[in-house]
């Protein structure tokens, strides 16, 4: 068995999120170097503030300023910072209860080593140089002498409040399609199409995924199909997709390659779009260096009889 294919796969997305009144005030406050909590019905102050009481589910809105100094309630020394974390040098993860708050905020603490960190230690906020209204406006915490900084007396009302955040997310994978699809992709590099036959129902699946979705059993017998096939059904695309270099209208079709037990998708070319029809016999057109057929064109054969492809619609 040849080695399975592998390739880098990056999933990246700028999640754009809107803020409610409480989160908006908190994050706007960070931009202005003000830290706000929210008061609960029983008089606790939650920092970071939430819109609903985690115990009673009561809606919360009474903002109250707390100090930029506080106490470490627990910590963990991180000797090898990872991508995206607040500091690039070794640091401590900390939960910090800010002075005036009853709950703790998660962030990073810049300290020379684990021996310099302990639960109960006093810390203060180190602000980021550029602040946009995000949790990262707190660059990190740093050790301090324990004197409490005074709140500024802010009411929590801001001009030009932040109403949303963009939370960029990126995850890196090494994707492997597994044995069956590796064989399919390797065959395509020789301009051949290979499926797998189900040992139970005898259908040939293409592209193969190693299992018959009807019978739920493993497939392994490789079968070459095509290159010619029959259009089983189609649609006419009239709207140009972004970044797609194909003139509209064009035809996108289901094509049952000869010998295959189900149809593939493909574009039909070499024929006016309004002359494409069910039963049209087609063959793949490859362009130089391509990894799959660019499109399918008519072979000139007579149309296939409906009965020969009606099970493949």
Partner 1 sequence: MTSAPRDREIAVVAFAQTAHRRTSEELSEVEMLMPVLHEVLDRTGLKTADIDFTCSGSSDYLAGRAFSFTLALDGVGAWPPISESHVEMDGAWALYEAWTKLLTGDADTALVYSYGKSSPGSVRDVLTRQLDPYYVAPLWPDSVALAALQAQALIDARDTDEPALAAVASRNREAATTNPHAQLRGPVPQGDYLVQPLRTGDCPPIGDGAAAVILAAGDRARDLCDRPAWIRGIDHRIEAHGLGVRDLTDSPSTRLAAERAGVFERPVDTAELHAPFTAQEVVLRKALRLGEDVDVNPSGGALAANPIMAAGLIRIGEAAARIHRGASDRALAHATSGPCLQQNLVAVLEGERR
- 244 touches partner 1 (CB under 8 A): no
Pick from 46, 60, 262, 268 the residue near partner 1 by CB under 8 A: 46
Question: Which listed range, 184-192, 204-212, 265-273, 301-309, lies at the site for partner 1 (CB under 8 A)?
Answer: 204-212
Q: Which of 131, 179, 228, 297 binds partner 1 (CB under 8 A)?
A: 179
Q: Is 17 in the site for partner 1 (CB under 8 A)?
A: yes
Closest CA to 305 of 273, 280, 284, 287: 280
**Which CB sits closer to partner 1, 218 or 290?**
218
Number of residues that bind partner 1 (CB under 8 A): 66
SS (H, E, C) 180-244: HHHHHHHHHCCCCEEEEECCCCCCEECCCCCECCCCCCECCEEEEECCCEEEEEEEEECCCCCCC
Which of residues 166 and 290 has its CB atom nearest to partner 1 in the complex? 166
Asked if residues 176 and 6 have their Cβ atoms less than 8 Å apart, the reply is yes
- 273 vs 172: CA distance, rounded Å: 41
**42-50, 236-244, 250-258, 263-271 -> range binding partner 1 (CB under 8 A):** 42-50
> Which of the residues 211 through 230 are near partner 1 (CB under 8 A)?
211-218
Among 176, 186, 222, 299, binds partner 1 (CB under 8 A): 176
- Residue (3 or 289) nearer to partner 1, CB: 3
Residues 281 and 297: their CA atoms lie apart, in Å, by 8
Options 75-83, 153-161, 269-277, 297-305: segment touching partner 1 (CB under 8 A): 75-83
CA distance 177 to 183: 10
Closest approach of Cβ 266 to partner 1, in Å?
21
Residue 186 contacts partner 1 per CB under 8 A = no
226: tokens are 């095509």
Q: How far is the CB of 39 from partner 1 (least distance, A)?
A: 14
- Share in percent of the chain as helix, strand, coil (round to 5): 10, 35, 50
Give the whole-angstrom CA distance, residue 181 versus residue 254: 20
> Which of residues 133 and 284 has its CB atom nearest to partner 1 in the complex?
133
The secondary structure element, H or E, covering residue 166 is: strand 164-175
Segment near partner 1 (CB under 8 A), from 78-86, 121-129, 248-256, 278-286?
78-86
Cβ-based nearer residue to partner 1, 21 or 279: 21
Q: Is 136 exposed, middle or buried (0-12, 13-18, 19+ CB in 10 A)?
A: middle
| Cα–Cα distance for residue pair 265/193, rounded to 1 Å | 13
CA dist 181 → 53, 67, 257, 261, 310 (Å) = 50, 58, 17, 17, 27
Give contact residues for partner 1 (rule: CB under 8 A).
1, 4, 6, 9, 11, 15, 17, 19, 23, 27, 46-48, 50, 54-55, 73-79, 82-86, 93, 95, 97, 103-108, 114, 119, 134-136, 165, 167, 169, 171-181, 209-218
């Amino acid at each position: 068995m040849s080695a399975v294919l592998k390739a880098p796969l990056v999933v990246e997305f700028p999640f754009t999120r809107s803020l409610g009144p409480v989160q908006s005030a908190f994050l706007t406050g960070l931009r202005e170097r003000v830290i706000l909590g929210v008061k609960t019905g029983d008089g606790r102050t939650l920092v970071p503030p939430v819109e609903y009481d985690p115990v009673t589910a009561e809606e919360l809105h009474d903002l109250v300023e707390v100090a930029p100094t506080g106490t470490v309630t627990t910590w963990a020394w991180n000797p090898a910072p990872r991508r995206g974390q607040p500091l690039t040098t070794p640091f401590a993860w900390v939960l910090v209860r800010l002075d005036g708050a009853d709950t703790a905020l998660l962030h990073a603490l810049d300290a020379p080593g684990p021996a310099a960190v302990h639960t109960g230690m006093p810390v203060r906020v180190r602000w980021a140089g550029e602040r946009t209204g995000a949790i990262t406006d707190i660059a990190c915490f740093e050790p301090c002498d324990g004197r409490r900084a005074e709140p500024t007396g802010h009411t929590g009302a801001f001009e030009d409040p932040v109403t949303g955040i963009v939370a960029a997310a990126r995850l890196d994978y090494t994707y492997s399609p597994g044995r069956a699809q590796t064989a399919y992709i390797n065959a395509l590099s020789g301009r051949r199409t290979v499926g797998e036959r189900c040992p139970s129902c005898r259908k040939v699946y293409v592209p193969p995924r190693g299992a018959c979705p009807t019978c739920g059993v493993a497939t392994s017998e490789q079968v070459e199909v095509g290159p010619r096939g029959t259009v089983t059904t189609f649609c006419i695309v009239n709207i140009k997709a972004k970044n797609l270099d194909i003139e509209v209208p064009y035809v996108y079709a289901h094509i049952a390659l000869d010998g295959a037990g189900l149809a593939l998708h493909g574009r039909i070319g070499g024929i006016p779009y309004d002359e494409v029809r069910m039963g049209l016999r087609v063959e793949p057109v490859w362009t130089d260096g391509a990894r799959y057929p660019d499109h399918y064109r008519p072979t000139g054969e007579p149309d296939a009889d409906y009965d020969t492809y009606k099970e493949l619609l």
